[in-house]
Structures are given as C-alpha cells and as structure tokens.
Amino acid sequence: MTHPTFSNLRIDSDRLLGRLMSLGQDGALEGGGVCRLALSDKDKLGRDRVVDWMKELGLRVTIDKIGNLMGFLPGREDLSPVVLGSHIDTVATGGLYDGNLGVLAGLEVISVLKDSGYVPLRPIVVAAFTNEEGARFAPDMLGSAVDRGSLDLETALAIKDSDGFVIAEELARIGYAGEAEPGHIDPYCFFELHVEQGPVLEEEGEQIGAVTGVQGISWTEYVIEGISNHAGTTPMRLRHDAGFAAASVAVAARKVAEEIGDGQVVTVGVNELNPNLVNVIARSARLTVDMRNIDEQKLQQAEKRLAEEIAAICKAEGVRYTSRTLARFEPVMFDQNMVDLIADVAMEQGRSVRCMSSGAGHDAQMFAPVCPTAMVFVPSQGGISHNIEEYTSPEDIKAGANVLLQAALTKAEE
Ligand code: GLV
Ligand code: MN
Ligand code: MN
Ligand code: MN
C-alpha cells in the first residue's frame, strides 16, 4: 500500500515526454523513429544526454567496464538500492519509446524526489544497460547479463558485430569503456517500465500491464554454403542453391511454429545471399532464426524440430551448413509480490490492470534470478514496435510512470 509520506507525489508528464522527445533526436530518422544502434556515434550522443541529465539531478554517475550507465541517489540509510533500469540502444528501425521510456521514467522518479525534497529510506539507482537490443551485437540484454554475472565480461568485450567491430574497441571509441566493475551495485529489487510492444493491452482496453514473466528466447545463425553458377545454364536438378535452401528454412520455420502451436513464435529476420544478383545462383546464405515460447519444453521441441528440418533441406539440396547460437535465455517468472504490488498500485490509482507475460526480451529478466523483479507495461498503439511507427499516448505514459513511482517508493521504504 502506498506510504503516507510519498503517496501524494506524481510525475510531471510534460517533463518526461520532453526528455523522451529530446533523446529521440539522437539518431532521429527521416519520417520518424530512431536508429541508435549500441555503441554507435548516435548511441554516444544519447548516452551523453542521459549522463548530463543524471548529473543535473545530482546523481553520482558510474560507468562500468561494459558501458552500463548508473545514476545513484543516496537514501536516508546506506542500504541496497531500488534499481529502475532499461536501455537506450534501439534497433535500426526503432521508435522513441522502447527502452528509452524505462530509463527516462527512472530519471523522472528522481526529478519528483528532488522537487519534493522527499528522501526515501533506500537509495535509488537509474540504470541504462548496454546493447539490450542485440541488433548490433548478439546476444541481446548483453549489458544487464554482464552486470548480473550470467555473461562473462571478457567474453562480452570480445564480441564482434557483423562487420567485425569489437565491443571493447567500440566502447573505448565512444568514450564509454568505464572503470567500474559490472555488478558493483547489489540491488534490493528491480523495476522496468516498458511499452508492451504488442497488441494485448490496447485490444483489451486496459492501461497497465503487471508483467508476470518473459518468454524464453533462442537465436541461431545459420550459414549455408552451396555452389554459385549461371542462372540460365544450370539445370534445376544440378543446383546446389544456398538461396533456395535458405528460403526453404524460412518456410520450415513457419511450419514448425504452427506445428508446436500454443504461442510458439518463429522469425527469420536476416536472410542475406551472396552473391545477391538477379542471374546468379547464390553461393552462400546467412540467416537468423528467432524462436520464443513461455514454455521451455516447447521451445526445446521447436529448436529440435527446426534442426531436423534444416538438416533435411540442406541434404536434399546438396549444400553444407553451419550453425551458431547467438542468444539463448530460458523463460523467466517475476516475483509474485512485486507483480501484486504493481497491480495494487495501479488499481489504487484507478487504472485498469492486466497480468500478462512479455513477448519481448528485457533487461529485467537478467535481474529476476537475483532480486525481486517486475515490469510495468503500457499500451503500444496498434501493437507496433521495432518500427518507426511505435507510439504510446501521453496519458498512458503518465499512468505507467506514476505506477512505477509509487511502486518503487513503496519498496524504497522497506
Ligand atoms: C529485444 O528487444 C527482443 O526482445 O528482441
Ligand atoms: Mn526494450
Ligand atoms: Mn527492443
Ligand atoms: Mn527488448
């Protein structure tokens, strides 16, 4: 239940939206949306902006060796902090809200505390984690995974993007190879406000999602090698066509999702041919498969079925293939008391609430094994995300940020 000394505090939605729009200028795309790939020049600009805001708010800023940013507000006592975190990197065709909202709502909580003079019992930390999207470097949730120790720092620093750029060098280049040890903050609990990125809240006419968990994620890259030849002269029966095999894998992936059913989703998001020419049979293909399910057994079944399909397709076409795991996370359940707290706070504030699982991956899932963790979702218009059209209304942002504020301050008094 909300605490008498802070229950009257409310976020300033104009200030929060103003910061969202300002951050959206770093990497702004023509026609709307943002491209702020992790550790790019635009990411540096966004990070600089967030660090400036943290400093303006008087937070002690630390940057760790994987580039995670943390702004620390002391509490009345030197206890483990309540952490409010998310990310500011985007996919190449990103919106203004994914990740950014969670970080800036955290800063808004701090701004409200500064304005009111109210000092919570526990410290509060606002965190922006490196490379949540996995759009440039795999795996996704990389910074939060290193922070929580589920990914080794040295391994992470050596990861390359598809052009061969190495994380350690890119961090240094943009000035964000920090000194702090990842995991230097021992969280009391973790909250992440995020746009739903799916259609459920909007379709059901509900404003707040109390997120119960995140589905498991399996990312695999396949490289298929065939024989390049002339498109006009090579009889169909003599082809070893990497492009045909890759297309067949995409069809098989859809078939596997339908076969498993029950919320199994499968996406072939990358499909690159080499050469990529109108009259040449492709010698090689690189494709990625993203599979997700809330049920680990079903996810494993989907992985096994797809592996069988790929082996059969490549054998029939007479091409070779290699596979590489880019990311693998088991489904995560959030702490029931934290989920209940979010639902209770939202209802006290007169909001309609739905308990729901997350289809997207989030930094919060890295915290769930180590401390009480939960997420607040707000509706995504048309269920659209990872798209420049991504939009959440100011009213919904205000509602979600007020739930975050009161839930976080409740925990900060424990
Ligand atoms: C990360 O944003 C993911 O869910 O793919
Ligand atoms: Mn996100
Ligand atoms: Mn995202
Ligand atoms: Mn995500």
How many domains does the chain divide into?
A: 2
Asked if 73 and 199 sit in the same domain, the reply is: yes
Phi then psi for residue 218, to 5 deg, are -130, 115
Q: Which domain holds residue 247?
A: 216-329
Ligand 1: which residue has its CA nearest to atom 3?
361
Task: Give ∠ CA 235-236-237 in degrees, rounded to 5.
Answer: 95
Statement: residue 253 has pLDDT above 90:
yes
Domain with residue 345: its CATH number is 3.40.630.10
Whether the bond between 81 and the residue before it is cis, its omega within 30 degrees of 0, is no
Instruction: Please check whether residue 351 lies inside any domain of the structure.
Output: yes
Bridge partners, 62 (sequence order): 70
Asked if 89 and 184 sit in the same domain, the reply is: yes
Asked if 97 and 113 sit in the same domain, the reply is: yes
Residues 106, 84: Cα–Cα separation, whole Å: 6
Residue 361 CB–ligand 1 contact under 6 Å: yes
Mutation choice for ligand 1 from 362, 366, 380, 390, CB with most ligand atoms inside 8 A: 362
CA of 101 to the centre of ligand 3 (A): 11
Q: Which of 329, 351, 382 is the last residue of a domain?
A: 329
Nearest to 26 by CA among 167, 144, 178, 128: 128
Nearest ligand to the CA atom of 101: 2
Asked if 239 and 384 sit in the same domain, the reply is: no
Q: What is the average pLDDT across 23-37?
A: 97
Q: For the purposes of burial, counting CB atoms within 10 Å of the CB of 78, is it exposed (0-12), middle (13-18) or buried (19 or more)? A: exposed
Statement: residue 3 has pLDDT above 80:
no
Domain with residue 233: its CATH number is 3.30.70.360
Q: From the annotation, which residues make up the binding site? A: 87, 98, 133, 194, 386
Residue 26 CB–ligand 1 contact under 6 Å: no
CB 345 within 8 A of CB 403: yes
N residues, the chain:
414
Alpha carbon 113 to its chain's center:
27
Instruction: Please check whether residue 394 lies inside any domain of the structure.
Output: yes
**Residue 225's pLDDT is what?**
98
Q: Which of 329, 360, 375 is the last residue of a domain?
A: 329
**Residue 262's pLDDT is what?**
84
Residue linked to tokens 């994380």: 167
Residues 281, 234: Cα–Cα separation, whole Å: 9
Asked if 308 and 339 sit in the same domain, the reply is: no
Instruction: Please check whether residue 38 lies inside any domain of the structure.
Output: yes
pLDDT, one tens digit per residue, over 144-196 is 999 999 999 999 999 999 999 999 999 999 999 999 999 999 999 999 999 99
Q: What is the average pLDDT across 339-348?
A: 98
pTM of the full structure: 0.94
By three-state DSSP, how is residue 316 classified?
A: helix
Instruction: Please check whether residue 171 lies inside any domain of the structure.
Output: yes
Nearest ligand to the CA atom of 390: 3
**Residue 59's pLDDT is what?**
98
Q: Which of 282, 297, 329 is the last residue of a domain?
A: 329
Statement: residue 86 has pLDDT above 90:
yes
Statement: residue 1 has pLDDT above 70:
no
Instruction: Please check whether residue 6 lies inside any domain of the structure.
Output: no
**Residue 2's pLDDT is what?**
53
Bridge partners, 67 (sequence order): none
pLDDT, one tens digit per residue, over 52-75 is 999 999 999 999 999 999 999 999
Residues 208, 404: Cα–Cα separation, whole Å: 11
Instruction: Please check whether residue 2 lies inside any domain of the structure.
Output: no
Nearest to 358 by CA among 337, 376, 335: 376
Instruction: Please check whether residue 7 lies inside any domain of the structure.
Output: no
Ligand 1: which residue has its CA nearest to atom 2?
133
Asked if 121 and 176 sit in the same domain, the reply is: yes
Asked if 27 and 112 sit in the same domain, the reply is: yes
pLDDT, one tens digit per residue, over 288-330 is 999 999 999 999 999 999 999 999 999 999 999 999 999 999 9
CA of 363 to the centre of ligand 4 (A): 7
Instruction: Please check whether residue 3 lies inside any domain of the structure.
Output: no
Residue 102 CB–ligand 1 contact under 6 Å: no
Residues 91, 131: Cα–Cα separation, whole Å: 10
CB 103 within 8 A of CB 59: no
Using only the alpha carbons of the chain, give its radius of gyration: 22
Residue 390 CB–ligand 1 contact under 6 Å: no
Asked if 299 and 389 sit in the same domain, the reply is: no
Residue 17 CB–ligand 1 contact under 6 Å: no
pLDDT, one tens digit per residue, over 260-272 is 998 999 999 999 9
Residue 108 CB–ligand 1 contact under 6 Å: no
C-alpha distances (whole Å) from 79 to each of 114, 183, 413 are 19, 16, 11
CA of 362 to the centre of ligand 1 (A): 7
Mutation choice for ligand 1 from 386, 387, 390, CB with most ligand atoms inside 8 A: 386
Averaged pLDDT score across all residues of the chain: 97
Residues 95, 35: Cα–Cα separation, whole Å: 8
Could you tell me the pLDDT band of residue 4, with boundaries at 50, 70 and 90? low
